[in-house]
Homo-oligomer: A and B are copies of this chain.
Amino acid sequence: MSKAIVTGHRNPDTDSITSAIAYAYFKQQRGADAIAVRLGEINKETEYALTQFNTEAPVLASDDVVEGREEIILVDHNEFQQSIENVERFKITEVIDHHRIANFETMDPLYYRAEPVGCTATILLKIFKEHQIAIPKNIAGLMLSAIISDSLLFKSPTCTDEDIDAAEELAQLAEVDAQEYGLNMLKAGADLSEKTVNE
């Protein structure tokens, strides 16, 4: 069986980290050998979400980790300069994204799923449902976190009705109140405790 890595973009945000986790889980449920990786440090907001939902961060995409894995699935990005170094060394088999397409090309046909919504997690929820794969509570919580992060708690102009509906559905699965949890998560991300008085 071919082995794949699932990765979000460099300087990862909550959507990139949690979408890698969620989609790697989805692929595993479908019988694939896929692991989530990350291309940079976890930020405070994402750390809060991972802790709240008791989930480990994806491993850093070191040479050791990607060794022997020939396929790559990109989530939350498509542009090569935002992706893993020398992304062309992998076969890009899938992209799940919500951004414009640029600086992207493949040698072969692939599965490319982009929708003009506010967050990758909103598309992922659809994909889970299309294949009738149940979303575990912790992954639902992480996907909800991604929507809250990308939409700034539904206030961003990129936030669509689909994102709001998806968040509602995910909040139920995660058994949290989206507004209350969301505010706490955004606050954790904006945490000023490490800044000096002068900042």
Contacts and interface: CB of A to CB of B under 8 A. Distances in A.
Q: How many copies does the complex hold?
A: 2
Interface stretch (A8-16, A113-121, A174-182): A113-121
Interface in A87-123: 93, 98-117
A110 B106 contact: no
Contacts of A56: none
A98 B102 CA distance: 18
A64 interface: no
Contact of A109 (B100, B105, B108): B100
Contacts of A107: 100
A67 interface: no
A93 B101 CA distance: 11
A73 to B, nearest CB: 13
Interface in A112-154: 112-117, 130
B101 A110 contact: yes
A106 B101 contact: yes
Interface residues of A, number: 22
A161 to B, nearest CB: 15
A103 B105 contact: yes
Nearest to A158: B109
Nearest to A103: B105
Contacts of A98: 109
23 contacts: A93-B116, A99-B109, A100-B105, A100-B106, A100-B108, A100-B110, A101-B101, A101-B105, A101-B106, A101-B110, A102-B106, A103-B105, A104-B104, A104-B105, A108-B116, A109-B114, A109-B115, A110-B116, A111-B115, A111-B116, A112-B114, A113-B113, A130-B130
